[in-house]
């Protein structure tokens, strides 16, 4: 079911609004004329985004919130209702990531990624549901990732959390229908790699600089998808053609897609420059109130994709020669 009222008369809560896709979504919603409630940990960045929303003619409320604290998330919902009278939609968007081999990621960081990405989304849904019901219906949008459907090496905690969000959303949707609350929609967004500060914010235990595997899409593309879902809710929506394609490959030939994606992401996610281990923004706020990360230059993307494909060609040539040599040795 769509929103109970037009978007321009709606109040929408957005978590992770201090950076990247959350910031782009706040601006997209502000342009649609709705009231936005902005949550994340970094208050100055949220204030900057609120100012930007006000300049676009929208009312914005800033509520600094750590989404790993369920009581704080309840207070976020209460603040939104206190200020604007009701909540019509809730966008669970905040997340953190830790990049590294599964058995080399510190346990504390692995746990925290699950707490922020999966439990934070669950707390958001729990806080939102009674208010959406009181508003006569509404929409929850969970910003997951195409990594809720497929997997990528060095991202085990994030992949597990994002797969969990998808399962959680599907279950809650079933329960809402069973309990006569079908006026509340639950939507999951599955974006491809997006040009945000995420890869700079992520905890890093790879020893190398990180970069999103190309193609990389602008954050506004996800913001538009979220706005579209608020107007016309669907169970799931991809953002970015690459996400749709990878999802299809994974459903048609999962074993092959798993190998291909491991190979590709393994080569494009890690840069050449050396980096010491870092916990990134996993435990500390880092929002700057800017949507983009600076990865999207066409030339840069083309170079990285070409380099990855060149490496592939070189490697398969080496493999072929080695196999040929092995075969000749066996024949002799």
Ligand X SMILES: NC(=O)c1ccc[n+]([C@@H]2O[C@H](COP(=O)([O-])OP(=O)(O)OC[C@H]3O[C@@H](n4cnc5c(N)ncnc54)[C@H](OP(=O)(O)O)[C@@H]3O)[C@@H](O)[C@H]2O)c1
> Which residues from 301-320 bind ligand X, rule CB under 6 A?
none
Asked if 186 contacts 172 with a C-beta cutoff of 8 angstroms, the reply is yes
Question: Which listed range, 189-197, 227-235, 301-309, 320-328, lies at the site for ligand X (CB under 6 A)?
Answer: 189-197
* Span from 47-55, 62-70, 271-279, 304-312 in contact with ligand X (CB under 6 A): 62-70
Residue 247 engages ligand X in binding (rule: CB under 6 A): no
Rounded-to-5 percentages of helix, strand, coil across the chain: 55, 15, 30
Q: Report how far residue 265's alpha carbon sits from residue 240's, in angstroms, rounded to the nearest whole number.
A: 17
Residue 86's closest CA among 48, 47, 128? 128
- Number of neighbouring beta carbons within 10 Å of residue 197: 21
Residue 91 touching ligand X (CB under 6 A): no
What 3 state SS string does 186-239 have? EEEEEECCECCCHHHHCEECCCEEECCCCCCECHHHHHHHHHHHHHCCCCEEEE
Q: Is 158 a catalytic residue?
A: yes
Q: How far is the CB of 67 from ligand X (least distance, A)?
A: 4
Pick the binder of ligand X from 11, 42, 206, 225 (CB under 6 A).
42
Stretch of 17-25, 101-109, 264-272, 304-312 lying at the interface with ligand X (CB under 6 A): 17-25
Q: Do the beta carbons of residue 39 and residue 19 sit within 8 Å?
A: no
Which of residues 105, 116, 210, 242 is near ligand X by CB under 6 A?
116
Interacting residue with ligand X among 166, 173, 201, 205 (CB under 6 A) = 201
In the complex with ligand X, the residue whose CB is nearer, 248 or 318, is: 248
In the complex, what is the shortest distance from the CB of residue 80 to ligand X, in angstroms, rounded to a whole number? Answer: 15
CB distance 10 to 52 below 8 Å: no
- Least distance in angstroms from the C-beta of 170 to ligand X: 18
> Which of the residues 154, 158, 217, 264 is marked catalytic?
158
For the CB of residue 95, give the shortest distance to ligand X in the complex, in Å: 3
Q: Which two tokens stand for residue 213?
A: 């595997």
**From residue 142, how far is each of 145, 205, 231, 244 by CA, in Å?**
9, 27, 15, 17
Which of 10, 11, 145, 269 contacts ligand X by CB under 6 A? 145
Q: Binding to ligand X by residue 198, rule CB under 6 A?
A: yes
Q: Please state whether beta strands 270-274 and 208-210 pair in parallel, antiparallel, or not at all (unpaired).
A: antiparallel
Q: Is 81 in the site for ligand X (CB under 6 A)?
A: no
Q: In terms of CB distance, is 94 or 135 closer to ligand X? A: 94
Q: Which residue has the tokens 């994974």?
A: 250
Q: Which of 206, 225, 268, 281 binds ligand X (CB under 6 A)?
A: 281
Find the angle CA(100)-CA(94)-CA(159) to the nearest 5 degrees.
35
User: Could you tell me the smallest distance in angstroms from the CB atom of residue 274 to ligand X?
Assistant: 22
Report CA 51 to chain centroid distance, whole Å.
24
- The catalytic site residues sit at 158
Binding site for ligand X (CB under 6 A): 15-16, 18-22, 40-42, 45, 65-68, 93-96, 116, 143, 145, 191, 193-194, 196-198, 201, 212, 281, 285-287
């Amino acid at each position: 079911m769509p929103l109970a009222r037009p978007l321009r008369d709606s109040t929408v809560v957005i978590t992770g609004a201090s950076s990247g896709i959350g910031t782009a979504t706040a601006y997209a919603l502000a342009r649609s004329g709705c009231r936005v409630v902005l949550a994340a940990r970094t208050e100055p960045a949220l204030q900057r985004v609120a100012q930007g929303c006000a300049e676009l003619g929208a009312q914005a409320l800033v509520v600094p919130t750590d989404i790993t604290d369920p009581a704080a998330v309840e207070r976020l919902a209460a603040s939104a209702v206190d200020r604007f009278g009701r909540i019509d939609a809730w966008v669970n968007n905040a997340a953190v990531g830790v990049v590294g081999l599964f058995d080399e990621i510190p346990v504390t960081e692995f746990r925290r990624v699950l707490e922020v990405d999966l439990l934070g989304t669950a707390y958001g849904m729990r806080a939102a549901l009674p208010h959406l019901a009181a508003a006569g219906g509404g929409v929850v949008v969970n910003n997951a990732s195409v990594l809720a459907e497929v997997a990528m090496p060095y991202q085990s905690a994030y992949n597990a959390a994002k797969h969990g969000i998808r399962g959680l959303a599907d279950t809650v949707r079933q329960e809402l229908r069973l309990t006569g609350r079908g006026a509340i929609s639950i939507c999951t967004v599955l974006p491809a790699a997006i040009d945000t500060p995420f890869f700079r914010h992520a905890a890093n235990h790879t020893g190398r600089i990180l970069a999103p595997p190309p193609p990389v899409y602008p954050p506004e593309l996800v913001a538009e998808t979220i706005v579209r879902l608020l107007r016309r809710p669907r169970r799931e929506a991809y953002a970015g053609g690459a996400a749709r394609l990878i999802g299809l490959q994974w459903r048609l030939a999962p074993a092959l897609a798993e190998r291909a994606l491991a190979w590709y992401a393994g080569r494009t996610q890690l840069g050449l420059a050396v980096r010491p281990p870092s916990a990134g923004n996993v435990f500390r706020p880092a929002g700057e109130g800017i949507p983009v990360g600076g990865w999207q230059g066409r030339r840069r993307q083309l170079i990285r994709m070409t380099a990855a494909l060149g490496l592939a060609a070189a490697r398969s040539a080496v493999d072929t020669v080695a196999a040929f040599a092995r075969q000749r040795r066996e024949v002799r």
